[in-house]
Amino acid sequence: MIRKAFLAAAALLTISTMGISPAKADIDIDINIGYGGGYHGRISCNTGARIVDRRFNQVVRRDCGGSHYQYTGRRNGKWYYITVNSRTARIVAVRRWWR
């Protein structure tokens, strides 16, 4: 009986010395709705070239101004004009280039 009383007193003493920290009830919600799949604003001309280079060989930059970037690239022995949207970073047009 005395042993249980000492254990209870030791437990109360330990709890009282630890101190009570205030509960935090703040809410931190971050909803990141980016435009264009994670790209903020516009992609660079080099990024567009890397995107085109995944599907085409011998990629050459033609025009990197405005809302669409234009490149030429080769696939299966044929040349193509490739247009990339600078805001969404997607290939939006592929046209055959008769060279």
Residue 11's pLDDT band, with cuts at 50, 70 and 90, is: confident
Structural contact between residues 61 and 49, judged by C-beta atoms closer than 8 angstroms: yes
Does the pLDDT value for residue 6 go beyond 60?
yes
Long-range CB pairs of 5-11 (<8 Å, 24+ gap) are none
Over the stretch 45-96, which tens digit does the pLDDT of each residue have? 999 999 999 999 999 999 998 999 999 999 999 999 999 999 999 999 999 9
Token code pair at residue 59: 């990629």
Structural contact between residues 50 and 84, judged by C-beta atoms closer than 8 angstroms: no
**Which SS3 state, helix, strand or coil, does residue 97 take?**
strand
